[in-house]
Amino acid sequence: MGFSNGPRLLDFKSSPPHLQFNKFVLTGYRPISTYRECLQSLFYMHNEFGNIYTHGIPFLFFLLFLPLNIPWSEVDWWICVVHYLACLSPTVGSVLYHLFMNHEGGASVYNTLLSLDMFGVCLVNTLGALPIVHITLLCYPSSRCAAMLAYLLLSLYGIHCAVTARSNVNRLRSFAWQALFRLFLFMLRWIGPGTGSPASLRLYLTMDSLALLGGLVNISRIPERFSPGRFDYWLNSHQIMHMLVILSILYLHWGMLEDLSWITSFQCPAE
């Protein structure tokens, strides 16, 4: 991939007001651009370059390689489809947001892209958990249906909160009820047998821990808070969050593979 010099980049004070959301990132802002110019920014260095590629490269990896180790023919097809879409969803919205956030459409385009980005995060929280709910309560059909409906309703509320939030703190809070619901499921797995693969619980707990850590790093603006300007291009809080999110998705996938392997051999006890 060849790189060009690109346009003259702006500092924080010279950048458009809707892009002034991290006062500790001082330089490297792209000027207002057309769609074509935004696409051209894939090939020169700026302060969103790392954010684009830390989700863009994993998106291509997930798109091409995840289907190869999902047991499509061995379990219900919807579980595989929902899980696959869950793994892809946060990276798609994120890449579009970071790539086109400086579009000449201004704040309205930016806010639309931010909502799309948050919708992708909501989808991984929603779609990623539905197979977990199903498998955890596999032997309890009535409770399973009620739990999946309850989680969907909580997710709709979380999506509304996330896409309308006006701060990183409130966006993180939007996912609290979903996280508590998953924690309840994980407690069920820890207490009783027949609620999923014993090996998957540790993987799912790691998944949620990484996602929470990523959110906390993002809202705390660490490390750039302690050295403004030093992390403008690489290893700022948002990039660290991106990397933790990708790890979280991988742990979701590994946990689901354990569960899918378990479900093919497990038989619910006869009533």
Annotated binding-site residues for Zn(2+) read 98, 238, 242
> Which residues define the annotated binding site?
98, 238, 242
CA 106 to chain centre: 25
Q: Is 111 exposed, middle or buried (0-12, 13-18, 19+ CB in 10 A)?
A: middle
Among candidate residues 30, 32, 27, the one with its CA nearest the CA of residue 6: 30
Q: Cβ distance 151 to 178 under 8 Å?
A: yes
**How many angstroms separate the CA atoms of 26 and 68, rounded?**
43
Cis peptide before 67 (omega within 30 of 0): no
Complete DSSP assignment for 115-143: HHHHHHHHHHHHHTTHHHHHHHTTT-HHH
